[in-house]
Amino acid sequence: MEIQARAKINWTLNVTGKRQDGYHLLDMLMQPIALHDTLIIEKAEGLALTVEGMGDLSAGEDNLVLRAARALQALCGISRGASLHLIKRIPMGAGLGGGSADAAAALKGLNKLWGIGLDLPALCRIGERLGADIPFCLHDAPRRAQGIGEILTTIESGVFPLILLQPCAALSTKEVFTAYHASAGIVPPDTKKALEALQYGDLNALRVCGGNVLESASIPLRPQIAEAKEALYRSGAAFAQMTGSGSVVFGAYETAAQAQRAYELLKDRYSPCILTETA
């Protein structure tokens, strides 16, 4: 079987607290996008992973795809195997949830291949232990994510043309949160108004009420993030923002023609520069 593992963007991201175990409590509005990795799964005696597209991504036991497969085997007492081939397109260290999407694809595909029959909540419980974004990726639809990412609520959002830029080296999530806690005066997004803006497809309203509190903390560490955001606005984006804990910055456009013109302007300056859309 062949499964699409779709990337995601954050329309909003707010930090609302921290648990005793160190996990941050978040409030986020997220949406899948058309950009995706592909996971190809075939029957096999053992469990093995190969990776195509990004030579520096490990295909070993530390890869989230294999970790998800092992977790499913252990929980359900499965001894069967599978041959897993991952075709990577989603940039790494980007805040696009690529690793989480790949793990979600593995859980869905192997659940079907091995005839386990777990429902979505059960798969989410397995995924939650591996990564906070995996439950969202298993739902694969616009959601408000709260808690550490496991409390998911359906939201309404339309299709928006996007350009993704990765203007700098990745930041570690730990580094970004450390910078956030050392920062002062960061204004949180107005999630209620952002929900309404997405519902009505109003990117200009979203520009006023949206936001990612980790963006403000990341810019002093990577000034290129602010520069890329400004470049997207100059190219005609109605809304631009860093996604997740970075380092990708996305611009959302009102029409596909505007996004195409912006892509032609930016593709020689930024690599990667990806033209896509929300899903």
Q: Say what the pLDDT of residue 23 is.
A: 87
The whole-angstrom separation of Cα 210 and Cα 198 is 10
134 shares its domain with 174 = no
Tens of pLDDT, residue by residue over 46-96, are 999 999 998 788 999 999 999 999 999 999 999 899 999 999 999 999 999
- Domain boundary at 154, 179, 194, which? 154
Q: Say what the pLDDT of residue 21 is.
A: 87
Give 178-181's long-range contacts (Cβ < 8 A, gap of 24+).
179/217, 179/218, 179/220, 179/221, 180/15, 180/213, 180/214, 180/216, 180/217
Tokens standing for residue 175: 């580094």
Mean pLDDT of 125-132: 95
């409390």: which residue's tokens? 151
CATH code for the domain of 218: 3.30.70.890
Of 157, 147, 140, 136, the closest CA to residue 252 belongs to 157
Q: Say what the pLDDT of residue 170 is.
A: 85
The total number of structural domains in the chain stands at 2
Q: Which domain holds residue 63?
A: 2-154
Of 90, 68, 92, 63, the closest CA to residue 78 belongs to 68
Which active-site residues does the annotation give? 8, 133
Q: Pick the residue with more confidence: 56 or 174?
A: 174
pTM assigned to the model: 0.95
173 shares its domain with 197 = yes
CATH code for the domain of 65: 3.30.230.10
216 shares its domain with 144 = no
DSSP code at position 278: B
Half-sphere exposure (CA, 13 Å, Cβ side) for 140? Answer: 18
Q: Say what the pLDDT of residue 147 is.
A: 96
